[in-house]
Homo-oligomer: A and B are copies of this chain.
Amino acid sequence: MGDKNLDFLFNPSSIAVVGASVHPGKISSIIIESLKNSGYPGKIYPVNPAYEKIGSERCYPSVLSIGEEVDLALYAIPAGGVAGSLREADGRVKGAVIIGGGFGEAGEAGRAYEKELRDIVRKQGVRVLGPNCMGLYDTVSRLDTFFVSPDRIKRPGPGGLSMVSQSGSFAVTAMDELAAEGIGVARIVSYGNKVDVNESDCLEFLANDESTRAVALYIESVDDGRRFVEAASRCSASKPVMAVKVGRGGAGVSAARSHTGAITGRYEIYRAAFRKAGIIELEGYEEFIGACKAYGTQSAPAGNRVMIITDGGGMGVSIADACAGAGLEVPPLSPEAVEEFRGVFPPYFSVSNPMDLTGSATNGLYAEAVLKTMASGDYDIAIVAALWGPPGLTDDLPGLIAGKAGEAGKPVIICSPGGEFTRKKSALFRDLGLPVFTTPESAVRAAKALAGGGAIKRGRSV
């Protein structure tokens, strides 16, 4: 069997791109371009028997002809040609990333190609990521095999969140959204049909990866449940691990099957496995992206008591409702806190939880509300629903809230629904590392994911 440690995959010192092309629009050309743009520091070997040179660079007729051992071979050629080329490279590459589709997800011929790949993996010990995947986007090793134009799909900057996704488009979309939300990432893996490397392999690597501080999984299917629970447990012992399992029933199941050929299984089994492995369970894309934003900027809290601060009463009520629905507590202010606030706030402010600063809200009053409530021992998370209507709120507001949140050392989530002006101002919160949500319900989902991680941590430490 091949290398157990996936270091050569996540931190390769050299890469061969099989199917390199002189045409700039080809997938292989986009990948070579992306590798260079992302600052990949290792050697890149273009491979294609059709060319001696691509631009000014030497092109090799085969992986074998490179003459040195190569960590990673990227295959961007039609399905039918992959097995032969990989067999030929035997012993000269540690691993391969097979980008293209046309395998298990694509009829009988594809299934035969995929079986051939599995045989090679079993017999030769080479490790394979894919096929039918996007490969890796990695800010630690500066890898980028995601063959989508950066004009259309932005890449996030460096950060502590790593993502492991069976679906390429899901990973691409989430990556693009995280970039827009200012959330950095460590490593993103799209593993597709997983003839070899799967979610459990990735979890084992990420468990010991110092660059990764939280892990988000998108799963259509898990083949070896016991190994998955073991790998995830090891990983969740040192960092939050969250997962969405799609293909839950009806059309979703058959869609997942035709998507990556996955046998999806009953959802209840996955739920039990997640619980056993200390995984935070997420429902769908919405909870997934929300949890990524939350864990990309905040840490799990010590409990699930939420303080809600707003300048719009109706929005406060809506957040409180959503908290109740999500099983989060919204405890009332202590009598001492009420008295203290009553001494400094105008009489028409609603001094309770939710706290409503009304249209007379100012930066200073918001800061005071955040600090006084969060510095007390009464709350674990703050949801601050800053509606930008009141003229007393200015560009200094986000800095003041972030500052007070920092002093209190507790997670803060911003809920800022609205239109153009509000959407622009949201960038001020994001730049300060606070996650911004556009509905009460999405803010509460993020709080729930954070609280869930806290509960798992406490459960382990008991």
Contact = CB atoms under 8 A, between A and B. Distances in A.
Nearest to A351: B258
A14 interface: no
A180 B167 CA distance: 32
Given A169-B315, A259-B317, A439-B286, A330 B250 contact: yes
B440 A314 contact: no
Given A286-B440, A318-B170, A441-B285, A251 B313 contact: no
21 contacts: A25-B391, A107-B347, A151-B421, A152-B422, A154-B420, A154-B421, A165-B314, A166-B314, A169-B315, A170-B312, A173-B315, A177-B418, A218-B314, A251-B320, A251-B323, A251-B354, A254-B352, A255-B317, A255-B356, A285-B318, A285-B441
A108 to B, nearest CB: 11
Interface in A355-405: 356, 358-359, 387-389, 391
A247 B286 contact: no
B286 A246 contact: no
Contacts of A179: 419-420
A322 interface: yes
Nearest to A151: B421
A259 to B, nearest CB: 4
B391 A149 contact: yes
Interface string A32-58: 000000000000000000000000000
Contacts of A170: 312, 314-315, 318
A389 B153 contact: yes
Given A170-B314, A170-B315, 10 more contacts: A101-B348, A154-B421, A176-B421, A177-B417, A180-B418, A180-B423, A250-B330, A251-B331, A252-B330, A255-B316
A249 interface: yes
A260 B321 contact: no
A142 to B, nearest CB: 20
B284 A314 contact: no
Contacts of A149: 389, 391
Interface in A395-441: 417-423, 439-441
A388 B150 CA distance: 11
- Identical chains bound together, number: 2
A106 B352 CA distance: 13
A24 to B, nearest CB: 12
Given A313-B259, A389-B152, A419-B154, A284 B101 contact: no
A148 to B, nearest CB: 4
A248 B321 CA distance: 6
Interface in A140-162: 148-149, 151-154
In the A-B complex, the 4 residue pairs with the closest CB atoms: A167-B314, A169-B312, A170-B314, A180-B419
B324 A169 contact: no
Contacts of A12: none
Given A25-B391, A321-B247, A258 B352 contact: yes
A199 interface: no
A421 B167 contact: no
